[in-house]
């Protein structure tokens, strides 16, 4: 029994490949927007389509009916390595630095808050260097994941390259140690699943922030560039999701892994309330640019969508952020009772 029917709105698709990352037999990404090749036929294919709905950054993947599941954990237990599939989708989705519309740069559309914001975003992009070092150590025995990290690191390294080239066009000078200082990142937590979930969330927030900037900016080169970067971040979220899901379904104690996932979600939701959080500070800088573009001043992280994605990841009934804390208490009690 499978759910149906799924479709892609070509006018909303940003060609991130998140859908094909999870369901390569259902969604294809060649030229132009993603396309539905066929409808899902099995429970695990339906699940992958529903994951695509929740991970699509622009709401382009849609379902005709609400998702229903038998709740069976582990339908996708078996299967080959993820790296070859993810690397192939990434190649179909990937854009070229040389193909960005550099000649369309319009200095008349660039304000000083916009330059400051782009500089801040370029700075934080460099943190993937130290994060890669940590991934290689913490996941050293996971050949599949560490192979994929090479794709992630390559694509992430292009983001500040493109943004810094835009900054140079805008006349912004960068300090000599700009790249080196940006390479600092926070240490990983003990739980590997927790680390993967942290990355799902930050990639989803990043995709949303870049898409917001793409819509808000009237500078043509930046509009295109940030849309392309948003597509990469969204595909990274979908890829981290696949590795996290595999860890949960193959774990000796899946309840423990679900608890770690919930903890990360709970911590992030609460941190978002804090105005002193670096992400909130960065997003606050968007306000003048968003207002200029006629958008609401405040950047809202896609909290609801992230909750729905983590619900799918953990098979827990998280319909909104308000559900997370009670579920965390329940799940903690469940894990302790088992122990």
Q: Which residues bind Fe ion (CB under 5 A)?
A: 125, 156, 159, 203, 233, 236
SS3 250: helix
Toward Fe ion, which CB reaches closer, 233 or 260?
Answer: 233
Toward Fe ion, which CB reaches closer, 54 or 236?
Answer: 236
Toward Fe ion, which CB reaches closer, 149 or 310?
Answer: 149
Question: What element of type H or E holds 6?
Answer: strand 6-8
Q: How far is the CB of 5 from Fe ion (least distance, A)?
A: 31
Q: How far is the CB of 125 from Fe ion (least distance, A)?
A: 5
Q: How far is the CB of 47 from Fe ion (least distance, A)?
A: 24
Long-range contacts made by residues 303-306, C-beta under 8 angstroms, separation at least 24?
A: 303/269, 303/272, 305/54, 305/204, 306/200, 306/201, 306/204, 306/205, 306/265, 306/268
Toward Fe ion, which CB reaches closer, 223 or 331?
Answer: 223
Q: Round to whole Å and give the CA distance between 125 and 152.
A: 12
With tokens 């200095």, the residue in question is 107
Whole-Å CA distances, 330 to 18, 192, 266, 333: 31, 22, 13, 5
Q: How far is the CB of 159 from Fe ion (least distance, A)?
A: 4
Q: Among 204, 199, 229, 195, which Cα is nearest to 302's?
A: 204
Q: How far is the CB of 282 from Fe ion (least distance, A)?
A: 13
Tell me the residue nearest to Fe ion as measured from the CB. 236
Quote the tokens at residue 270. 């609460």
SS3 146: helix
Question: What element of type H or E holds 62?
Answer: strand 61-63
Question: What element of type H or E holds 304?
Answer: helix 303-314
Q: Among 118, 93, 117, 107, which Cα is nearest to 17's?
A: 93
Q: How far is the CB of 78 from Fe ion (least distance, A)?
A: 28
SS3 327: helix
Q: Round to whole Å and give the CA distance between 320 and 326.
A: 12
Toward Fe ion, which CB reaches closer, 49 or 229?
Answer: 229
Q: How far is the CB of 186 from Fe ion (least distance, A)?
A: 16
Backbone angles phi, psi at 176, to 5 degrees: -60, -30
Toward Fe ion, which CB reaches closer, 24 or 57?
Answer: 57
Toward Fe ion, which CB reaches closer, 6 or 95?
Answer: 95
Q: What does the angle CA 325 – CA 211 – CA 56 come to, to the nearest 5 degrees?
A: 60
Q: How far is the CB of 195 from Fe ion (least distance, A)?
A: 15
Q: How far is the CB of 232 from Fe ion (least distance, A)?
A: 6
Toward Fe ion, which CB reaches closer, 159 or 256?
Answer: 159
Toward Fe ion, which CB reaches closer, 60 or 229?
Answer: 229
Quote the tokens at residue 209. 């922030």
């Amino acid at each position: 029994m499978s759910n149906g029917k799924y479709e892609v709105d070509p006018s909303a698709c940003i060609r991130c490949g998140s859908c094909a990352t999870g369901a390569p037999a259902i969604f294809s990404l060649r030229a132009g927007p993603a396309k539905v090749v066929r409808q899902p036929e099995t429970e695990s294919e339906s699940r992958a389509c529903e994951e695509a709905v929740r991970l699509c950054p622009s709401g382009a993947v849609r379902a005709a009916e609400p998702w229903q599941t038998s709740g069976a954990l582990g339908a996708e237990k078996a299967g080959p390595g993820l790296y070859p599939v993810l690397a192939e989708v990434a190649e179909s989705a990937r854009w070229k630095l040389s193909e960005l519309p550099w000649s369309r740069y319009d200095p008349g559309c660039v304000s000083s808050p916009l330059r400051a914001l782009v500089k801040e975003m370029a700075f934080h992009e460099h943190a993937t260097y130290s994060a890669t070092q940590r991934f290689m150590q913490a996941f050293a025995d996971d050949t599949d994941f560490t192979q994929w990290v090479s794709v992630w690191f390559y694509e992430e390294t292009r983001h500040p390259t493109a943004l810094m080239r835009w900054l140079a066009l805008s006349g912004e000078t960068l300090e000599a140690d700009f790249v080196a200082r940006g390479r600092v990142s926070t240490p990983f937590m003990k739980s590997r699943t927790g680390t993967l979930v942290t990355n799902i969330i930050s990639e989803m927030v990043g995709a949303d922030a870049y898409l917001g900037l793409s819509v808000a900016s009237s500078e043509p080169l930046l509009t295109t560039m940030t849309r392309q970067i948003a597509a990469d971040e969204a595909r990274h979220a979908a890829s981290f999701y696949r590795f996290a899901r595999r860890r949960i379904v193959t774990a000796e104690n899946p309840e423990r892994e679900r608890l770690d996932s919930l903890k990360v979600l709970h911590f992030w939701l609460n941190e978002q309330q804090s105005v002193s959080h670096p992400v909130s500070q960065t997003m606050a800088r968007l306000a003048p640019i968003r207002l200029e573009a006629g958008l609401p001043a405040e950047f809202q992280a896609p909290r609801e969508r992230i909750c729905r994605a983590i619900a799918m990841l953990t098979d827990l009934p998280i319909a909104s952020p308000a559900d997370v804390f009670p579920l965390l208490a329940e799940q903690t009690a469940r894990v302790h009772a088992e122990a």
